[in-house]
Amino acid sequence: MALTGTVVSDKMNKTIIVRIGRLTTHVTFGKKIRQFNKIKAHDEKNSAKIGDLVEIKQVRPISKDKRWNMVAVLKKAENR
C-alpha cells in the first residue's frame, strides 16, 4: 500500500515526517471534512526536504515509531 503526502519536517537524521490527508464525511451533518495524520518515514539518503510531495510505503518496523519507507520524491518544493 503506497500513500502520498507532504513533508513537514526533515530535522531528524534519515527520518522525515509526512502529512497524509484524507476526505471524509461528517456523520451528522454530511459535510466533507479534511482530516490529517502525521507519519514518520525512513529516508535513507536524506533527499526529501520540507514541502516536497513524497510517496511512502508500509514496511516492517524500523524503530519504535517508524513503519513507513520513502519510495520517491514526486515533486520538489518550489521555494528552496
Please tell me the distance from the alpha carbon of residue 55 to that of residue 29, in angstroms, as a whole number.
33
Q: Domain for residue 48, yes or no?
A: yes
Q: Domain for residue 9, yes or no?
A: yes
Q: Indicate the number of domains in the chain.
A: 1
Q: Domain for residue 16, yes or no?
A: yes
pLDDT band at residue 80, thresholds of 50, 70 and 90? low
Q: Domain for residue 80, yes or no?
A: no
- pTM, full prediction: 0.89
What is the pLDDT, as a whole number, of residue 13?
Answer: 96
Q: Domain for residue 44, yes or no?
A: yes
Q: Domain for residue 46, yes or no?
A: yes
Supply the CATH number for residue 35's domain.
2.40.50.140
pLDDT in tens, 11-70: 999 999 999 999 999 999 999 999 999 999 999 999 999 999 999 999 999 999 999 999
**Which range marks the domain in which residue 13 is found?**
2-75
Whether 78 shows a pLDDT value over 90: the answer reads no
Widest Cα–Cα separation across the chain: 45
